[in-house]
Amino acid sequence: SVVPDAHAACQDATVLQELLQAGFHRELLVKAELGGGAEDAAGCSVAARIHLPRGIYVDPYELASLQRQNLTKALLVPDAVDVEAPEYLATELLVLLYMEPDPRCSGCFRASLPVHGRYHRPGEDTEEASVVLKSPEVLACCCDSRLSTECWTPAEVEASCSGSPKGSCQWFSVTHRPVQEESILQVPVGLRRHNPAVCVLTLLATALCSALILAAVCKHGHFT
């Protein structure tokens, strides 16, 4: 295999992330360009290491389904995620998202991943909460190559080059420049001043539904 040109990667590598769609359920698109042509990355795996803040999560069941269909390849740390937890009770997550070569661009890689916003505490005077997603780190794993580490530094990643659960190899952090330092996810939230009205309506709805269930049981139930 061809050893990547570390000097070219150091100068030219770029990374771009985009949050597509709107609302709580989004698609995270990550693109990386190593520079110097596709031959520089021959025989290597490229991945994005993404740190998800508490306000964003990946559904592990959805991820497993996508991986069975070969639609994405990623490792989630930790792999057990409470998808029901609100933002203030959640923990940060780490995702290693394996990227595929982009045929439309020499030396380019891309991958996408569904992400979801968590519920936040009600706001005082705003109906949106901002979740900041930092630009991902670009990693390369060339198990069959001896890399010149002039611009590549070893990364502590316990994962294989292929994304299989077994085995591991040495990953390197690629010196790169992000197109933008961060992305902002706007999550809809309620307003604190609406709490009394919400509580009253919830109580009335609960009482009404309970009365309807009790009336149906009394009318149609069989008692001995």
Residues 169-214: pLDDT tens digits?
778 887 777 777 788 888 877 666 667 777 888 888 898 899 889 8
- Whether residues 25 and 80 share a domain: the answer is yes
Domain total in the chain: 2
pLDDT at residue 13 greater than cutoff 90: no
- Whether residues 212 and 185 share a domain: the answer is no
Contacts of 55 (CB under 8 A, 6+ apart): 87, 90, 117, 118, 120, 129, 131, 185, 187
124, 125, 182 from 193: Cα distances, Å? 7, 9, 32
> Helix (H, G, I), strand (E, B), or coil: what is residue 158?
coil
In a domain, 7, yes or no: no
Greater model confidence, 187 or 221: 187
In a domain, 196, yes or no: yes
In a domain, 112, yes or no: yes
Distance from C-alpha of 104 to C-alpha of 106, rounded to nearest angstrom: 7
Q: Lowest-pLDDT range, 93-97, 100-104, 147-151, 206-210? A: 147-151
Query: Measured on CA atoms in the order 157, 162, 168, 169, is the torsion positive or negative?
Result: negative
In a domain, 108, yes or no: yes
In a domain, 107, yes or no: yes
Instruction: Give pLDDT, residue 191.
Output: 63
- Whether residues 178 and 117 share a domain: the answer is yes
- Whether residues 20 and 97 share a domain: the answer is yes
Distance from C-alpha of 127 to C-alpha of 168, rounded to nearest angstrom: 45
- Whether residues 118 and 182 share a domain: the answer is yes
46, 111, 147, 184 from 72: Cα distances, Å? 13, 7, 27, 23
In a domain, 2, yes or no: no
- Whether residues 214 and 114 share a domain: the answer is no
Residue 106 has phi, psi (to 5 degrees) of: -70, 125
Q: Which domain holds residue 157?
A: 13-190
pLDDT at residue 45 greater than cutoff 60: yes
Contacts of 194 (CB under 8 A, 6+ apart): 122
pLDDT at residue 37 greater than cutoff 80: no
Residue 164 has phi, psi (to 5 degrees) of: -75, 150
Contact between residue 29 and residue 194 where contact means Cβ atoms under 8 Å apart = no
- Whether residues 120 and 212 share a domain: the answer is no
Q: For residue 180, what is the domain's CATH number?
A: 2.60.40
Region for 17 from its dihedrals, namely left if φ exceeds 0, alpha if ψ lies in -120 to 50, beta otherwise:
beta
Q: How many CB atoms lie within 10 A of CB 145?
A: 15
In a domain, 139, yes or no: yes
- Whether residues 171 and 99 share a domain: the answer is yes
Q: How many CB atoms lie within 10 A of CB 78?
A: 10
In a domain, 4, yes or no: no
Greater model confidence, 10 or 52: 52
- Whether residues 31 and 127 share a domain: the answer is yes
- Whether residues 205 and 95 share a domain: the answer is no
- Whether residues 143 and 198 share a domain: the answer is no
DSSP string spanning 44-82? -EEEEEEEE-TTEE--HHHHHHHHHTTS--EEEESS---
User: What would the two tokens of residue 5 be?
Assistant: 């040109």
Contacts of 179 (CB under 8 A, 6+ apart): 14, 15, 16, 135
Enter the pTM of the model: 0.77
- Whether residues 157 and 70 share a domain: the answer is yes
